[in-house]
Amino acid sequence: MLTTKPRGTNDIIPGEVEKWQYIEDVIRDVCRIYGYREIRTPVFEHTELFKRGVGETTDIVEKEMYTFKDRGDRSITLRPEGTASVVRAYLENNLHAGPQPVKLYYIGPMFRYDRPQAGRYRQFHQFGVEVLGAHSAGIDAEVMAMAMEVYRRLGLKDLELHINSLGCPECRPKFRSSLQEFFRPRLEEFCPTCQDRFERNPLRILDCKNKKCRQLAAGAPAILDCLCDRCAAFFEEVKRHLEELGIDYIVDKNLVRGLDYYTHTAFEVMAKGIGAQSSVGGGGRYNGLVEACGGKDTPGIGYALGLERILLAMEQQGVEFPPPWRPDVFVVTASPQAEYAAFKLLAELRNLGYRADKDYNGRSLKAQMKYAGKLNARYTVIIGENELENGTAVVKDMITGEQREITREKIPEIIGR
């Protein structure tokens, strides 16, 4: 127990963490270019926020939240996703009082009590963006374009962008009831889950993975056929914007986001070959959410991707990562008397900005060289009794094996930069 991490969590250790840093760097670059600014919210919130913001009927709220009472008897929940917190922060910090829209992004850990499997963990990491205070097809397309740009820069290929429209509070209820009419005659034949969904959330029956349900739902009315004129026009505009950018998409009428807050655009990005959990990101418009959280009627759209899944996909596709860390210089002592001189030289090299290191385990010269080789040091600088007397050092190129004795001030001339 003492040496075992909690189920579904992961250590990201040196060698691995560099990949994460690389991905995060790419993400932050894209955010800068697109005008999104970072927001950091607490990893835990009042439970009520997620119940409201994510939806009482969702699996997340019903069975996946890490909820506990703190010492003040408040119900606290580790965030299962990012949108609710961002909306809360938008309201609490009066970001709606500034210029609109507000374009935000976040990167950080999320928590869901789920059974772990490939690409799914109890603590996982998401990058997400939220745009509050804008309702236009252009911004919807921008969010999707930005997501695709992140994937592109990371070198991911063969991704599919699925899009759909969920309508608005005007046309959704009509669609909902026509769906129910369609399902009602053969309701008993659906899986228990879908029967349960029938009243609470008939839209979700559309993306049930159960074969039988899929067959039964085959001829179901499509939301796209039930959209009101304004919603239909908006969806066309979104598609037109994507086309202008040359972004391929697949209209997927079975793509749904279950909650009432979700409106209009919904999208999801799929990757093959990373296991059953093939979604590497998804998002959509939520024009009802801010109001549901106690604010004024404010349009919003967001998107999130899972860093673990991105990493899986990158590794599966054989994407090259930047080379790992290595010292520029490794300072070696050829005699115990040289210890202080070596220690001081090390400090000087670091002051000059070199990635420099030395041995601290009292190793022999040979072992120090071996160690430097293991660390993949570019150069070694050796100081022994001779060099102490002469005020010099031996600089050795660890790739060519060449070495020469020079005065210590000239070391930068040899090793460059």
Interaction site with RNA (CB under 7 A): 4-5, 7-8, 58-60, 81, 112, 114-121, 124, 126, 193, 204, 207-210, 258, 268, 275-282, 304-306, 308-309, 334-335, 361, 363-367, 369-374, 380, 382-387, 394, 396-401, 403
> Of 275, 310, 353, which Cα lies nearest the Cα of 22?
310
d(CA 253, CA 230): 18
Minimum CB distance to RNA, residue 192 (Å): 10
CB nearer RNA, residue 160 or residue 207: 207
Helix axes 17-34, 307-316, angle to 10 degrees: 110
Q: Cβ closer to RNA: 101 or 327?
A: 327
CB 244 to RNA: min, Å: 26
CB of 232 to RNA, least distance (A): 25
* C-alpha closest to that of 231 among 281, 175, 168: 168
- Min. distance of Cβ 136 from RNA in angstroms? 23
- What is the C-alpha separation between 407 and 394, in angstroms, rounded? 9
* Shortest Å distance, C-beta 269 to RNA: 7
Burial class from Cβ neighbours inside 10 Å (0-12, 13-18, 19+) for residue 221 reads middle
Structure tokens given for 70: 């703190």
Q: Whose Cβ is closer to RNA: residue 116's or residue 353's?
A: 116
Q: Which is nearer to RNA, 238 or 338 (CB)?
A: 338
Contact status, residue 100 vs residue 132, Cβ threshold 8 Å = yes
Spatial separation of the C-alpha atoms in residues 296 and 403, rounded to whole Å? 71
Residue 142 or 387 with smaller CB distance to RNA: 387
Write the burial class of residue 409 (CB in 10 Å: 0-12 exposed, 13-18 middle, 19+ buried): exposed
Q: Which is nearer to RNA, 96 or 120 (CB)?
A: 120
Is there a contact between 87 and 293 (Cβ–Cβ < 8 Å)? yes
What is the Cα–Cα distance from 199 to 192, expressed in whole angstroms? 12
Beta pairing partners, 301: 131, 285
Smallest separation (angstroms) from RNA to the CB of 57: 10
Rounded to a whole number of angstroms, the minimum distance from the CB of residue 342 to RNA is: 11
Cα–Cα distance between 126 and 281 in angstroms, integer? 9
Cα–Cα distance measured from residue 43 to residue 110, given in angstroms and rounded to the nearest whole number: 7
Q: Least separation, in Å, of the C-beta of 196 and RNA? A: 10
Instruction: Choose between 137 and 269: whose C-beta lies nearer to RNA.
Output: 269
Name the residue nearer to RNA (CB basis): 94 or 400: 400
